[in-house]
Chains A and B, each alone.
Chain A
Amino acid sequence: MKALFKPKPRTPADLVRQTRDLLILADRGTDTKESKREEKMMELSKLIRDLKSVLYGDSESEPIPEACTQLTQEFFRENTLRLLITCLPKLNLETRKDATQVVANLQRQQVQSRLIACDYLEKNIDLMDTLIAGYDNTDLALHYGAMLRECIRHQSVARYVLESEHMKKFFDFIQLPNFDIASDAAATFKELLTRHKSTVAEFLSKNYDWFFAEYNSKLLESTNYITRRQAVKLLGDILLDRSNSAVMTRYVSSRDNLRILMNLLRESSKSIQIEAFHVFKLFAANQNKPPDIVSILVTNRSKLLRLFADFKTEKEDEQFEADKALVVKEIAALEPK
Chain B
Amino acid sequence: MAHDQKKEEDPRKVNNPFPLDSNCYNILDEIGKGASAIVYKAICLPINSTVVAIKAIDLEKLRADFDNVRREAKTMTLLSHPNILQAHCSFTVDSRLWVVMPFMSGGSLQSIISSSYPDGLSESCIATVLKEILSALSYLHGQGHLHRDIKAGNILIDSTGSVKLADFGVSASIYESNSSYGSWSSSFSSSMMLTDVAGTPYWMAPEVIHSHTGYSLKADIWSFGITALELAHGRPPLSHLPPSKSLIMKITKRFRFSDYEKTNDMKSKKFTKSFKDMVGLCLDQDPSKRPSAEKLLKHSFFKYSKGPEFLVKNLLHGLPSVEQRFKSMKIRMSLLLNKTDEEDEDESIGGTPKLRRISGWNFNEEVFELDPVFPSDRKQVTFGGEAFIKDKEKGSNESLNSSSSGQVLSETDHISVQESGSDGQDGNTVCNHNETCESVDVVGSGGAGGGNSTGDNGLVLQTLKFLKKSVDDQKQLVNHMIGLIQGEDSANQTSEEQLRKEIENLKVQLENEKKKNSALELELEFLKLKLSNE
Q: Name A residues whose Cβ lies closer than 8 Å to a Cβ of B.
A: 38, 42, 45, 53, 56-63, 89, 92-94, 97, 101, 104-105, 108, 138-139, 142, 146, 177-180, 183-184, 186-187, 190-191, 224-226, 229-230, 233, 269-271, 275
Contact = CB atoms under 8 A, between A and B. Distances in A.
A253 to B, nearest CB: 26
Contact of B73 (A45, A56, A180, A190): A180
Contacts of B77: 142, 180
Contact of A183 (B20, B70, B186): B70
Contacts, number: 110
Interface in B312-330: none
Nearest to A177: B20
Counting chain B CB atoms within 10 Å of each CB, which of A61, A138, A230, A270 scores highest?
A138
A108 B175 CA distance: 13
A60 B188 CA distance: 9
Interface of B: 1, 4-5, 7-8, 11-12, 14, 16, 20-21, 59-60, 64-67, 69-70, 73-74, 77-78, 80, 89-92, 94-95, 97, 141, 143-144, 175-176, 180, 184-189, 191, 217, 292
Nearest to B142: A59
A328 B70 CA distance: 37
Contacts of B186: 56, 105, 108
A138 B18 CA distance: 13
B92 A224 contact: yes
13 contacts: A56-B144, A56-B187, A56-B188, A59-B141, A59-B217, A101-B175, A177-B21, A177-B91, A180-B70, A180-B77, A226-B95, A230-B66, A269-B95
A233 B70 contact: no
A59 B60 contact: no
B187 A57 contact: yes
Given A93-B11, A180-B70, A180-B90, A225 B95 contact: yes
Contact of A178 (B60, B90, B191, B217): B90
A231 B189 CA distance: 37
A59 B292 contact: yes
A58 B74 contact: no
Contact of B97 (A56, A101, A179): A179
A183 B69 contact: yes
Contact of A108 (B69, B144, B176, B185): B185
Going nearest first, the 4 A-B pairs with the smallest beta carbon separation are A56-B188, A180-B73, A183-B70, A233-B64
Contacts of B4: 45, 92, 94
By secondary structure, the B interface counts as: loop
A313 B144 CA distance: 37
Contacts of A57: 187-189
Contacts of B94: 225
Given A62-B189, A93-B80, A97-B143, A180 B74 contact: yes
By secondary structure, the A interface counts as: helix
B60 A60 contact: no
A93 B1 CA distance: 13
Nearest to B98: A179
Contact of B8 (A53, A92, A271, A275): A92
A19 B136 CA distance: 29
B73 to A, nearest CB: 4
B60 A271 contact: yes
Nearest to B521: A316
Counting chain B CB atoms within 10 Å of each CB, which of A61, A104, A146, A226 scores highest?
A226
Contacts of B1: 94
A271 B64 contact: yes
Nearest to A234: B64
A183 to B, nearest CB: 4
Given A45-B4, A57-B188, A62-B189, A184 B175 contact: no
A155 B413 CA distance: 44
B67 A225 contact: no
Contacts of A53: 188
Contacts of B92: 179, 224-226
Given A139-B11, A180-B77, 10 more contacts: A42-B5, A56-B144, A57-B189, A59-B188, A62-B187, A97-B78, A178-B20, A179-B90, A179-B92, A225-B59
Given A94-B4, A108-B184, A142-B78, A61 B66 contact: no
